[in-house]
Structure 1
Amino acid sequence: MGFSDLFSVASIPVAKTLLLTALGSFLALDQINVLGEMARKQLNELVFFVLNPALVGSNLAKTITSESFVLLWFMPFNILGTYIIGSVLGWMLIKCTRAPQHLNGLILGCCAAGNLGNLPLIIIPAVCREKGSPFGAPEICYKYGMAYVSLSMAIGAVYFWSYVYNIVRVSSNKVNNEDNREEFPSKINCAEGTTKLLQEDYTEAPLVCTTTEGIEKVQILDKTKQSSRFISKELNLKAIFSPSTIGAVVGFLIGVVPQIRNLMIGSAAPLRVIEDSASLLGDASIPIVTLLVGGNLLRGLKGSGIEGCVIAGIIAIRYIVLPLMGIVIVKGAVHVGMVHSDPLYQFVLLLQYAVPPAMNIGSVTQLFGAGESECSVVLLWTYTLASVSLTF
């Protein structure tokens, strides 16, 4: 296949994505107001709680077996690599540009977390169905491609809500603490050599008094409860175990356990109507998500005070440095036998390094009030240029 043929195969899926995204932006205009702010919020909830879990669960259930699950073990480490490399590069960008404190979480999140769900969900089916696709028969390509993408979405959700959520939270807390600084003594002298240590989170942990004679023992059960509450609060476990993650777990159980698989998967399965209904729901996720991406990007047109060098740095990291690092890592893993020879699987692994920042970063910055307007501008520019970068 010549370069022009490959370029056509690569550009047409991106062009389809652009058309739907542009339609979403048009429908979200104030003059049209079909996808107004309230409509987008309700559709986002529908996608988050219903459509995405159905898509992830149905695709994994149909394609994942105990044998294929072993072959996919490299994907969680590959996604973790995108986060680690992106975080290091983002930290370097912060130091080079001397970005404001309240943007640190945003920059690290945009450099580390890619859109591992929405865009691959759009691109992979379009590539598989395109005439001249290098990944074989469209039906087989679509079946396994959607399984790879579904797994990528589920793993990416866990990493995003356990890492980016807390990075933005910590960054916003530092800014708030600096703005509302009050003098609290870190140590208060107690009578006769007793010292009270004021805990940072005094709502969760009691004041502890230490004496030269000894330390008061705390019941193990109480300490366990305090630790559990702290971990649940700090890591936002409800967000980590999102509906998409739960859908992935259900899909794995159906696919890996033969007894359940025989009941639900296949033309002769007695409960196949459940899987068919889930697939029908999941298929609606792709066009709706694409329209929502276009509608949400409109906020970036209002502009903000973010410096151009920060935007340029994020674009360079996501579209130049990370894809080059991804080629080295994935091809190296293939060379040493850590990744099996399926070209579609390798393509999905490479794509994880080349996608723009995750759209959920906008929701997190809005939640903590840390760089919300700047995030909209970053997403607008990165997704605008994604049409060129993803094609190549």
Structure 2
Amino acid sequence: MGFFGSDVQFGKQELIHAVVPLLKLLSLTVIGIVLAHKRTQIVPKSTFKLLSKLVFALFLPCTIFIHLGLSVSVNNLALWWFIPVNVIVSTLIGCLLGLLVAVICRPPPEFFRFTVIVTGFGNTGNLLLAIVGSVCHNGDSLFGPECQTSGTAYVSLAQWVSVLLVYTLVYHMMEPPMEYYEVVEEEDEIEIVQENLPVNDLSRPLLHEAEWPGMDDQETVHCKTPFIARVFANVSDFSETSVPDHEERHEIERDRPQSPKSIRCLAEPRMVRKIRIVAEQTPVRHILQPPTIATLLALIIGMVPFLKSIVYGDDAPLAFLTDSLDIMAGAMVPSVMLVLGGMIAEGPNESRLGLRTTIGILVARLFVLPMIGIGVVFAADKMNLLIEGDRMFLFVLLLQYATPSAILFGAIASLRGYAVSEASALLFWQHIVALFSLSMYSIIYFKLLLMYI
């Protein structure tokens, strides 16, 4: 009887620890919905757009710099190696699930690749930081006194890897399909008209710039074309008509055969040339955004003891600066959830993806993938690949499998002119369903972590 009673108390504890943090986030999201809803219009959408820019350029970098720099060191970074590995593993498993969904649910052919991508790439940034911040808000947290510092450090490292994948792999995978290019191109003309609207126009979706402010300014001549497909189909014809700058440079170099660079270009293999042309059109430079710059600075300062003693700590000469950044970092969690509420208030767009495919993606991403993630993480723990006794480390690894698709998909889809309405509608429904799926899996995670020694 005593054992049974303690088990009931154990159930109440896990329920409180798991559900209350999410209820806090849900409350903030509901406030955002009420403020941005069309019927109330208490706060205009342009204000939410400015708030998302503040999160991107100020609140999020401050959070990363404060907590990551404080906890990182050369030894710790060596112990955290499984975090980027887990991002890649979760993405790979998610893409395989997306391929299975695409085969079973049979979406329209032009959205086959989109189904695979959107199932595979999850939100490893703002949403995870908000969950960690909410879980660690109470003093009696399951994860100890260093809860938020360590949790934010783990999430920041994972986010850096995820952003690298999005700006390289996802960017190219989201290019318009070659065989449906004419249809997509007609849709892009409509989108271009919308993009020429004033910056504060309410008809522009908040989703498109929620995690990439100023995205419209990054458009290139090739971003809305099937660039890779055309390059690899016929690089000579494509490069002559579509990449004149490169060809003009090569013509100049051919006029100077004495130049070693000219000889190298003349001898360049066809496949190498194709890869080079694609690499030159990859927006890697966009990786150096404020959050990733803050991550790099925190890693550099945190791993150099002398610099760390100057910046971090109560007795540090620059303690006043880190305290100021810490104050601004406190606005990150409520701002992220308010912006999410503003996005949800816009409602879902029309989608040609189909109900069966939409449900298949929701089930695969939010219910099946987290179950697989539990097996992957605890198998890695059994093989002694993880930090022993660190519950927050396990919690962050598990959460990487349970989040909805990255909000950055909306910006990428808009930039590439591919599945724009479908991405918006799917992200809307994913975040609605995630309120329930994350609650369910949070209870499971907390039960597992409370049993973990």
Normalising to structure 2: TM-score of the pair? 0.74
The counterpart of 1:323, out of the listed 370, 384, 390, is 370
CA distance 1:104–1:298, change in 2 (3 Å): farther
CA distance in 1, matches of 2:61, 2:419: 29
The counterpart of 1:171, out of the listed 165, 172, 176, is 176
- The answer to whether structure 1 residue 85 and structure 2 residue 93 are counterparts is yes
Number of paired residues? 370
CA distance in 2, matches of 1:112, 1:180: 26
- The answer to whether structure 1 residue 219 and structure 2 residue 262 are counterparts is yes
Q: Displacement, 1:388?
A: 1.7
RMSD of aligned residue pairs (Cα, Å): 3.0
CA distance in 2, matches of 1:166, 1:311: 23
Report if the CA contact (8 A) 2:25-2:134 is conserved: no
The 4+ residue runs of structure 1 with deviation greater than 4 A are 177-181, 220-224, 226-229
The counterpart of 1:5, out of the listed 6, 13, 22, is 13
CA distance in 2, matches of 1:234, 1:34: 42
Give 1:357's aligned residue: 405
Moved more, 364-373 or 199-208: 199-208
Report if the CA contact (8 A) 1:299-1:377 is conserved: no
| Residue-by-residue CA offset, 1:148-185 (whole Å, 9 max, x unaligned) | 222222222222222222221x235653256679xxxx
CA distance 1:222–1:245, change in 2 (3 Å): farther
Structure 2: gaps spanning 5 or more residues: 1-8, 187-229, 252-259, 441-453
Report if the CA contact (8 A) 1:9-1:132 is conserved: no
Q: Displacement, 1:123?
A: 1.3
The counterpart of 2:104, out of the listed 96, 102, 105, is 96
- The answer to whether structure 1 residue 21 and structure 2 residue 60 are counterparts is no
CA distance 1:233–1:30, change in 2 (3 Å): farther
What letter is aligned with 2:247?
A: P
CA distance in 1, matches of 2:419, 2:36: 22
Normalising to structure 1: TM-score of the pair? 0.85
CA distance 1:286–1:173, change in 2 (3 Å): farther
CA distance in 1, matches of 2:159, 2:184: 37
Give 1:263's aligned residue: 310
Q: Displacement, 1:252?
A: 0.4
Q: Displacement, 1:331?
A: 1.0
| Residue-by-residue CA offset, 1:239-291 (whole Å, 9 max, x unaligned) | 22322111100000111011110111111111122222222222212111110
CA distance 1:179–1:131, change in 2 (3 Å): closer
- SS of the aligned residue for 2:143 comes to coil
Q: Displacement, 1:350?
A: 0.7
- The answer to whether structure 1 residue 239 and structure 2 residue 286 are counterparts is yes
Q: Displacement, 1:293?
A: 0.8
| Residue-by-residue CA offset, 1:355-374 (whole Å, 9 max, x unaligned) | 11111111222222322222
CA distance in 1, matches of 2:20, 2:438: 11
Report if the CA contact (8 A) 2:135-2:141 is conserved: yes
CA distance 1:326–1:180, change in 2 (3 Å): closer
Q: Displacement, 1:79?
A: 0.3
1:275-354 superposed matches below 5 A? 275-341=322-388, 342-354=390-402
Report if the CA contact (8 A) 1:155-1:245 is conserved: no
